[in-house]
Amino acid sequence: MIVGTMLIELHAPWVHSLKEKRMIVKSICGKAGNKFNISIAEVDKQDRHQAIVLGISCVTDEMAHANSILDNVLNFIEEHTEAEVISVYRELL
């Protein structure tokens, strides 16, 4: 069993309220979770308007498949939001 995890930090400079931020996070999490069958949630900086930190995990039987899933999720997030990706931390266990 391979567990893939990824932490993505995004910066959304146009966001001016937590309500606006929650709408963006909810949209990203819902779409990515359904499309890739992953677990995804906001895991840090919940009280900062323009910072979004998402935690993502997947479970599979092959290292290459876990890498592929995480790559596809990252590409999906980059394509479906105007927020800038600040950092990505990935770990396979």
Instruction: Give residue-wise pLDDT tens across range 35-92.
Output: 999 999 999 888 898 999 999 999 999 999 999 999 999 999 999 988 999 999 999 9
Q: Which domains does the chain have, with CATH numbers?
A: 2-92 (3.30.70.1120)
Which positions ≥6 away from 54 have C-beta within 8 Å?
7, 8, 10, 25, 28, 29, 40, 41, 42, 43, 77
Q: What is the pLDDT of residue 45?
A: 85
| Tens digits of residue pLDDT in 12-39 | 999 999 999 999 999 999 999 999 999 9
Residue 82 CA, distance from chain mean position = 13
Q: What angle do CA 39, 88, 32 make, to 5 degrees?
A: 30
